[in-house]
């Protein structure tokens, strides 16, 4: 384990205690000597961690401390790179650009050795099937989900017939080649899944739907087979 990873683990351990915890307990949990533990505490305090206490009395991390990006572990950096590359390749253009920005911001504050790992990661996203309806702007859908607003849409069925729907969107799923909007449909009075490539028109509204998105999401999961719900 690198020292950066050990410092991260120390922060996470301290977050699990509301009362002061002795240096001996912390050192045992980290598998290091008490002397090393005291040096690590001093390092974190110098980096801005609000750790109160002293040797013999115990330590407590005061609420509100945010870990700087340089505290990411190597595995976490690889997860960020892989996820950002997938979003860039398979999500819509706006999210793809956001993924690039995230990596740039992280890279700007990483120490040189970890920044090299960010730039030269060997985790790649292979080519996939063409995305059906990939040119449709999903920004209004994502905004409606975040703000818990109704959407008015035109929706084509398999025969090409278009119906007008007012929906309460609460999730957007990205499959290999298809995007699906999960929503409550006022017309059907039930949950429905709308393929983005069959949406002919999207008209945002400023009207909040009457339930919280989290509540809709929980209720929707209960309608799914257990083997699927457990993975979403």
Domain coordinates in residue numbering, the chain? 3-67, 71-119, 139-229
Q: In terms of C-beta density within 10 A (0-12 exposed, 13-18 middle, 19 or more buried), how is residue 199 classed? A: buried
Q: Give me the CATH code for the 3-67 domain, please.
A: 1.10.10.10
Report the pLDDT value the prediction gives residue 217, as an integer from 0 to 100: 95
How does pLDDT run across 41-82, given as a tens digit for each residue?
A: 998 888 788 899 888 889 998 876 655 545 677 788 889 999
| Rounded CA separation 184/43 (Å) | 51
| Rounded CA separation 195/186 (Å) | 17
Q: What is the pTM of this model?
A: 0.68
Share of the chain above pLDDT 90, in %: 52
Which one of 2.40.50, 2.10.260, 1.10.287, 2.30.30 gives the CATH number of domain 139-229? 2.30.30
pLDDT range class, residue 120, cuts 50, 70, 90: confident
Report the pLDDT value the prediction gives residue 69, as an integer from 0 to 100: 47
Q: Count the neighbouring beta carbons within 10 Å of the beta carbon of residue 189.
A: 8
């Amino acid at each position: 384990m690198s020292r950066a990873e050990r410092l991260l683990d120390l922060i996470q351990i301290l977050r699990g205690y509301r009362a002061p915890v002795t240096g001996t307990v912390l050192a045992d949990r980290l598998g290091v000597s008490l002397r090393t533990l005291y040096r690590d505490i001093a390092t974190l305090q110098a980096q801005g961690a609000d750790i109160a206490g002293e040797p013999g009395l115990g330590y407590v991390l005061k609420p509100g401390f945010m870990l700087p990006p340089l505290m990411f572990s190597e595995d976490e950096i690889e997860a960020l790179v892989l996820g950002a590359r997938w979003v860039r390749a398979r999500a819509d253009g706006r999210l793809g650009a956001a993924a690039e920005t995230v990596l740039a911001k992280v890279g700007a504050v990483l120490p040189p050795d970890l920044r090299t790992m960010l730039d030269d990661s060997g985790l790649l996203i292979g080519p996939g099937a063409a995305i059906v309806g990939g040119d449709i702007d999903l920004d209004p859908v994502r905004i409606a989900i975040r703000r818990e607003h109704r959407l008015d849409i035109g929706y084509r069925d398999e025969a090409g017939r278009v119906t007008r729907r007012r929906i309460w969107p609460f999730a957007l799923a990205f499959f290999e080649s298809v995007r699906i909007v999960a929503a409550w449909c006022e017309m059907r009075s039930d949950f429905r899944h709308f393929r983005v490539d069959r949406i002919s028109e999207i008209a945002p509204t400023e009207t909040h739907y009457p339930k919280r998105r989290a509540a809709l999401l929980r209720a929707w999961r209960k309608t799914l087979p257990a083997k699927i719900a457990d993975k979403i």
